Amino acid sequence: MKASAFVYPWDVNGDPGAARFIAGTGVRQVTLAAAYHSTRALTPRHPRHRVVTAEHAAVLYPPDGRWEGRAIRPYAAGDWAPGDAYGEAAATLADAGLEVHTWVVLAHNSRLGAEQPHTSVVNAYGDRYPWAPCIAQPATRAYLVDLAAEAAVRPGAHGTELESLGWYGLAHLHAHDKTGGVGLGDAGQYLMSLCFCADCRDGYGRQGLDADELVAAVRGALEPVWRGAPSDGGWAGVEKLLGEATANATRAWRDGTARSLQEAAVGAVRAAAPEGFQILLHADPVSYHCGANAGVDPAHILSVADGVVVPCTGGAGLLTPFAERRRAGTVLAANFTVVAGMGGSPATLAADAARARDLGATELRLYHAGLAPDADLEAVRSALGGL
């Protein structure tokens, strides 16, 4: 199975041995960040630093002139990825014999939400989520589509992986997070992720819902949950809390909004890319789910993109709905965390990959070559050698 490792430019730039070291793990491809959210990352082998703090979401290359005069535009990186950090790292990795694909994070941008609060998802209580741009807003959608095309199709790239191309909601790996005290469950997470900005309120209206009545219904449904009542899992739990007709109307609005954005972004990348350029989405087969692995309809997304990258750490079951709808040539990439300290299991990678292959996976994604210590990457090397 073809394997690709995720990499940040700062893992490579300034470290003359990094690209050869990554190639030595047995991967033949890297998924290199070109547009990325804020993060704090260890660099355990770098000769110049051990911790990199990316202070805000940014593009890791010089953006072009398409953004002139636009209110919503990508932010340049600071000293964690100066200049054309992506291009420098991509050239070094290619020289080491690795095929480079771009890694593009889209609807996840805390600085945008802080500086332009109107762009953010706003919940039924009026709280804004600055990390979550609302993908229903026309200006935000135009920004995301153009960012996808620009960041994905970098010089020399053979393909791209688009992350967060859909709704983001309450769940977020936020600094000093204190949101775990109430067990919201799947249904509660959905209700707390519904957006009530002006565009979404209009969207609910087109589905036959009164937005003010929906706000009241969401608040009423959640009141027992705040007091400790269980929040039933799955879509049946949402229907129980909101009522079947109301729940399905909200989902129709959100699913349609996400699908049309995914179609537009993939179309823009195809228009900008050379022939044979591969386009994958980080995806969850449950369309109402939010987050980095965007909720999608498997049949729809596999008719739009060349394939998907599916989270498989802890189990590869999410591959099945995609495998049931795959076409000839569809890429189903099983994504495994290979950093033991981040919940991964590099020691069982060979067995986990074999299980994923049985469930339909055609490729592997390994998270993350720059973050993993040597012992974890030695386990990866051993596992890949046996596949």
User: Crossing angle of helices 244-272/198-206, nearest 10°?
Assistant: 120
Q: Which two tokens stand for residue 104?
A: 């593009």
**Considering the domain boundaries, does residue 93 fall inside one?**
yes
Show Cβ contacts of residue 173 under 8 Å, excluding neighbours closer than 6 positions.
Answer: none
CA atoms within 13 A on the CB side of 323: 16
Average pLDDT score over the chain: 96
Q: What is the pLDDT of residues 346-362, one digit of tens each?
A: 999 999 999 999 999 99
- Check whether 180 has a pLDDT greater than 80: no
**pLDDT mean over 45-57:** 97
**Considering the domain boundaries, does residue 271 fall inside one?**
no
**Considering the domain boundaries, does residue 37 fall inside one?**
yes
**Considering the domain boundaries, does residue 217 fall inside one?**
no
Task: Select from 36, 121, 9, 7 the least CA-distant residue to 292.
Answer: 36
Task: Select from 271, 259, 36, 300 the least CA-distant residue to 135.
Answer: 259
Q: Which residues pair with 334 in a beta bridge?
A: 310, 364
Q: What is the pLDDT of residues 4-23, one digit of tens each?
A: 999 999 999 999 999 999 99
Residue 32: its pLDDT value, please?
Answer: 98
- Which amino acid appears at position 143 of this protein? Y
What CA–CA distance (Å, rounded) separates 270 from 305?
10
Instruction: Report the CATH number that the domain containing residue 128 is assigned in CATH.
Output: 3.20.20.80
| C-beta of residue 25 within 8 angstroms of C-beta of residue 370 | no
| C-beta of residue 336 within 8 angstroms of C-beta of residue 366 | yes
**pLDDT band at 176; cut points 50, 70, 90:** low
**Considering the domain boundaries, does residue 188 fall inside one?**
no
**pLDDT band at 232; cut points 50, 70, 90:** confident
**Considering the domain boundaries, does residue 349 fall inside one?**
yes
| C-beta of residue 268 within 8 angstroms of C-beta of residue 243 | no
Query: Percentage helix, strand, coil, to 5, in the chain?
Result: 40, 20, 40
Neighbours of 239 (CB within 10 A): 17
Tally of domains within the chain: 1
- Where on the phi/psi map is residue 213: left (φ > 0), alpha (ψ -120 to 50), or beta? alpha
- Check whether 85 has a pLDDT greater than 70: yes
Q: What is the pLDDT of residues 97-131, one digit of tens each?
A: 999 999 999 999 999 999 999 999 999 999 999 99
For the chain, first and last CA: distance in Å? 7
* Domain range for 98: 2-178+278-385
Residue 218: its pLDDT value, please?
Answer: 98
**pLDDT band at 184; cut points 50, 70, 90:** confident
**Considering the domain boundaries, does residue 43 fall inside one?**
yes
Strand blocks (E) in the chain:
2-7, 29-36, 39-42, 51-54, 58-59, 99-105, 120-122, 128-133, 159-163, 278-284, 294-295, 307-311, 331-337, 363-367
| C-beta of residue 161 within 8 angstroms of C-beta of residue 117 | no
Residue 233: its pLDDT value, please?
Answer: 80
- Check whether 177 has a pLDDT greater than 90: no
Cβ burial, residue 91 (10 Å; 0-12/13-18/19+): middle
**Considering the domain boundaries, does residue 227 fall inside one?**
no
Q: What is the pLDDT of residues 266-324, one digit of tens each?
A: 999 999 999 999 999 999 999 999 999 999 999 999 999 999 999 999 999 999 999 99
Residue 369: its pLDDT value, please?
Answer: 98
Q: Which two tokens stand for residue 309?
A: 């990258």
